[in-house]
């Protein structure tokens, strides 16, 4: 029976980990679609290297710092970071007689690696279209090898935040640990890198070049989020874990739909009756980020309310950054940073314990109990305090290290590409081939959503030699 349970856990986490890894495709589609066509290859390059560099960083030191131990009484011994299992040493041990004894570390390394890569990728969108590839690679490695793992050690690695008071923090799948860490990094990176050349002087030139890519990427991310949130049960060997995974899936679905529709309506009002597909997509993502922390300890009505508020948090943050002239091309901070912080606090505020007294947190369907098995009274207050401290510490830690890495690069001229290169497009300056698309896109194609290889020279409404009229052109 134990072997069957172990096999079920392995199947579950490998599948969920693969789904989380596939979210990288969603990030790549959303980020490249949000930016201009002349920088698509450069965006895709950063997404590819985030995964590959993140893998090496997580293997060398990330896992060791986050989960390496040593442990004492179920908690990280020094409370701050792990100090063992560098380079995966100790995952498989020699048992004698030509035999090796495996452990579950490989399974957990793989599942948690997917989360680590996601945290780094969030930052790439905030600094898109104006950051040097080499400088970004340095940051990506630092994020996955040290910055993010320390936050994991404090929280999921059973460090000091897990035992700060009677109940500790509650962040089921990482609104704070993953999304806020990346979102704060994206904000600091956007501020330090500065806006793209001409971004606030000629804003109409910086619109997304492909709404189909953004929409497809959003659906991929939504799909992967079921691995992200449901997989955070960390096993599937009992009916209790099955119930929790299903509960998490329901809350995740409700939150995505609610926030997406809310932002869609908000943008409908703001644009005086125009449909904003990009806003709809970011609203969906805002709802998913908002529910990621509380998905395992709130009921479905609360998931609806959390997402509704999260939509306003997203829209307010996005509008504020534009007012402050902070150039975040994909709203990385608004979606992941601001909504990540809201999700962490929502996990405490909407915990489904009785009134404001009993706390459920990590215990899910049951109350958090003391050593005698009795429900801890006043647990919700402790839960709120711990989650507030999590938000503060993630902001300070991620913000400090991002500034420490990016500021020297900016002052040395190694962080930001020249205005001339930005104007020409990073694909043309840095890549071979020099264009992401083999077809030319003229103004008519952009406004009608049709990519034209060649417009008929004598019949302006015809495509090449085809006798098919173009749809009426509209002003951009």
Q: Residue 376 has what pLDDT?
A: 87
The pLDDT tens digits of the residues spanning 289-342 come to 999 999 999 999 999 999 999 999 999 999 999 999 999 999 999 999 999 999
The pLDDT tens digits of the residues spanning 112-128 come to 999 999 999 999 999 99
Provide the mean pLDDT of the chain: 90
Domain spanning 2-421: which CATH class is it, in words? Answer: mainly alpha
Q: How confident is the model at residue 447 (pLDDT cuts 50, 70, 90)?
A: very low
Q: Where do the H-state alpha helices sit in 324-453?
A: 332, 339-349, 379-411, 419-424, 426-430, 443-448
The pLDDT tens digits of the residues spanning 364-397 come to 898 888 888 888 888 888 999 999 999 999 999 9
Q: How confident is the model at residue 469 (pLDDT cuts 50, 70, 90)?
A: very low
Q: Residue 441 has what pLDDT?
A: 53
**DSSP assigned state of 472:** P
d(CA 330, CA 337): 12
The pLDDT tens digits of the residues spanning 12-30 come to 999 999 999 999 999 999 9
Contact 126, 328 (CB under 8 A): yes
**What would the two tokens of residue 414 be?**
């190694």
The pLDDT tens digits of the residues spanning 50-105 come to 999 999 999 999 999 999 999 999 999 999 999 999 999 999 988 888 889 989 99
Question: How large is the average pLDDT for residues 388-407?
Answer: 97
Question: How large is the average pLDDT for residues 386-415?
Answer: 96
Q: Residue 438 has what pLDDT?
A: 77
Q: Residue 451 has what pLDDT?
A: 44
The Cα-based distances of 209 to 33, 36, 314, 433 in angstroms read 6, 5, 22, 19
C-alpha R_g of the chain: 23
**What would the two tokens of residue 435 be?**
């264009």
CB contact set of 336 (below 8 Å; sequence gap of 6+): 122, 179, 180, 182, 183, 186, 289
Give me the torsion for CA of 87, 92, 95, 100, rounded to 10°: -120
Per-domain residue ranges for the chain?
2-421, 441-476
Q: Residue 473 has what pLDDT?
A: 42
The answer to whether residue 402 scores a pLDDT higher than 50 is yes
Q: Residue 378 has what pLDDT?
A: 80
d(CA 183, CA 122): 6
The pLDDT tens digits of the residues spanning 240-280 come to 999 999 999 999 999 999 999 999 999 999 999 999 999 99
d(CA 55, CA 110): 10
Q: Residue 440 has what pLDDT?
A: 58
Query: Which 3 state secondary structure label does DSSP give 315?
Result: helix
Sign of CA dihedral 349, 116, 240, 74: negative
The answer to whether residue 455 scores a pLDDT higher than 50 is no
Q: Residue 181 has what pLDDT?
A: 97
The pLDDT tens digits of the residues spanning 420-436 come to 999 999 999 999 888 88
Q: Residue 476 has what pLDDT?
A: 37
d(CA 201, CA 391): 35
The answer to whether residue 458 scores a pLDDT higher than 60 is no
The answer to whether residue 470 scores a pLDDT higher than 70 is no
Q: Residue 468 has what pLDDT?
A: 42
> Is residue 93 within a helix (H) or strand (E), and if so which, with residue range?
strand 92-96
Q: What are phi and psi of 100, to 5 degrees?
A: -115, 145
Contact 333, 190 (CB under 8 A): yes
Q: What is the pTM of this model?
A: 0.90
> Is residue 102 within a helix (H) or strand (E), and if so which, with residue range?
strand 99-102
More confident: 453 or 149: 149
Q: Which of 188-197, 240-249, 371-380, 401-410 has the lowest mean pLDDT?
A: 371-380
d(CA 13, CA 9): 6
Q: Residue 353 has what pLDDT?
A: 81
The pLDDT tens digits of the residues spanning 129-155 come to 999 999 999 999 999 999 999 999 999
């Amino acid at each position: 029976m134990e072997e069957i349970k172990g096999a079920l856990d392995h199947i579950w986490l490998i599948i969920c980990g693969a789904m989380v890894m596939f979210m990288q495709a969603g990030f790549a589609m959303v980020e490249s679609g949000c930016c201009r066509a002349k920088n698509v290859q450069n965006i895709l390059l950063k997404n590819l290297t985030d995964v590959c560099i993140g893998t090496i960083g997580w293997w060398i030191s990330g896992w060791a710092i986050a989960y390496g131990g040593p442990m004492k009484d179920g908690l990280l011994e020094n409370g701050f970071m792990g100090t063992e299992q560098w380079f995966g040493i100790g995952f498989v041990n020699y048992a004698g007689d030509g035999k090796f004894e495996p452990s579950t570390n490989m399974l957990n390394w793989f599942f948690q690696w997917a989360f680590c890569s996601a945290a780094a990728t969030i930052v790439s969108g905030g600094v898109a279209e104006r950051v040097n590839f080499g400088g970004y690679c340095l940051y990506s490695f630092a994020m996955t090898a040290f910055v993010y793992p320390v936050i994991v050690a404090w929280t999921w690695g059973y460090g000091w935040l897990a035992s700060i008071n009677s109940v500790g923090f509650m962040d089921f799948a990482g609104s704070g640990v993953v999304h806020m860490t990346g979102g704060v990094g994206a904000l600091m990176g956007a501020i330090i890198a500065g806006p793209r050349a001409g971004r606030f002087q000629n804003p109409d030139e910086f619109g997304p070049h492909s709404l189909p890519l953004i929409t497809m990427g959003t659906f991929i991310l939504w799909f992967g989020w079921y691995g992200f949130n449901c997989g955070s049960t960390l096993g599937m060997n009992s009916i209790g874990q099955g119930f929790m995974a299903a509960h998490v899936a329901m809350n995740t679905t409700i939150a995505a739909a609610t926030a997406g529709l809310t932002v869609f309506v908000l943008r409908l009002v703001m644009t005086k009756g125009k449909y904003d597909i990009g806003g709809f997509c970011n609203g969906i993502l805002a709802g998913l980020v908002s529910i990621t922390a509380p998905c395992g300890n709130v009921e479905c009505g609360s998931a609806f309310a959390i997402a509704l508020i999260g939509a306003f948090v997203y829209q307010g943050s996005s509008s504020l950054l534009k007012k402050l002239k902070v150039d975040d091309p994909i709203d990385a901070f608004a979606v992941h940073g601001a909504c990540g912080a809201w999700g962490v606090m929502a996990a405490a505020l909407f915990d489904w314990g009785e009134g404001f007294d009993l706390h459920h947190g990590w215990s899910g369907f049951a109350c958090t109990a003391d050593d005698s098995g009795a429900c801890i009274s006043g647990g919700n207050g402790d839960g709120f305090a711990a989650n507030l401290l999590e938000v503060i510490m993630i902001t300070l830690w991620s913000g400090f290290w991002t500034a420490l890495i990016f500021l020297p690069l900016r002052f040395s001229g190694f962080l930001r590409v020249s205005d001339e290169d930005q104007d020409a497009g990073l694909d043309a300056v840095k890549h071979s081939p020099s264009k992401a698309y083999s077809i030319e896109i003229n103004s008519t194609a952009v406004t009608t959503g049709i990519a034209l290889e060649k417009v008929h020279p004598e019949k302006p409404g015809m495509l090449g030699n085809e006798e098919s009229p173009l749809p009426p052109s509209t002003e951009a």
